[in-house]
Amino acid sequence: MILKNLTNVVNIIMCYICNMKTISSSVEEYIRTKPFLISALSQGIINLTSLSRNIKPEIEASLKKEIRYGAIVMALKRLSSELEFRTTHKIVKIIREIGDITVRSSLVDYNFKVSETLLTNQAKFLSKLDNRDDFYSSSRGVNECNIVVSGNLSQTLENIFTNEHIISKQEQLSSISIKLPYENVSIPGVYYFVFQRLSWEGININQVISTSNEFTILVNEQQVDKAFKVIKNLKNL
């Protein structure tokens, strides 16, 4: 009789553990679709009980059964400690290896409507560039094309693009270019980590220009010193 009762208890415990694993995987799957929750959990700045109430309906829908709040809270607690290591450790390792940080000022950002003559005019403009210190960057979407140039090239560009439609023009911008280690392309969340810190400091990013191992942000000249300090401090995490 005692052996039978013990067997029942073991079965109940094993069933509970199996359910917890299912709940844990379901909770993790949900959290991973919400980057802001990943960040909050890894830093321990969110109320797990309140969060469990909010996500309970979706977890139950995923598992197709009713779930107790306590089970979700336990899954969140375990996930919090795991996320703190998994999401932060790899990213911080990359951030600490940030290379040169280059700052440029007096930039102008043009946003043109894409036209049949736009590429031809870009080629004409590029043929006028003879100073390697001048800043030039171009990125093209389906309907728009952004061109960022040094302020001293602004008039030259406008003369060549006189027949193009300017959607917007922003002056008094500065750029901060950051060189990243090659491993950054295989670590998700590196850009998000940097942009999150800038956002927390109230820094507005006007434009982002990137290559595989380098990215440049454009900010208002009044915020460039603050943005530079934030990025530089990341290397000391």
With cut-offs at 50, 70 and 90, classify the pLDDT of residue 45.
confident
Q: Say if CB 160 and CB 124 are below 8 A apart.
A: yes
Q: Say if CB 216 and CB 210 are below 8 A apart.
A: yes
pLDDT of residue 193: 84
Tokens of 101: 């940080």
- The SS3 assignment for 4 reads helix
67 and 112 part of one domain = no
Lowest-confidence pick of 114-118, 143-147, 186-190: 186-190
Mean pLDDT over 9-25 rounds to 58
125 and 209 part of one domain = yes
123 and 198 part of one domain = yes
Domain carrying residue 8: 2-79
Query: Does pLDDT of 12 surpass 80?
Result: no
Chain mean pLDDT for the chain: 85
137 and 226 part of one domain = yes
Mean pLDDT over 77-97 rounds to 74
More confident residue, 4 or 110: 110
Q: Count structural domains, the chain.
A: 2
Task: Decide: residue 79, CB within 10 A, 0-12 exposed, 13-18 middle, 19+ buried.
Answer: buried
pLDDT of residue 5: 56
> Do the domain assignments include residue 154?
yes
Residue 94 DSSP label: H
68 and 30 part of one domain = yes
With cut-offs at 50, 70 and 90, classify the pLDDT of residue 60.
confident
More confident residue, 58 or 156: 156
With cut-offs at 50, 70 and 90, classify the pLDDT of residue 65.
confident
Lowest-confidence pick of 85-89, 90-94, 96-100: 85-89
CATH code (residue 185)? 3.30.2130.10
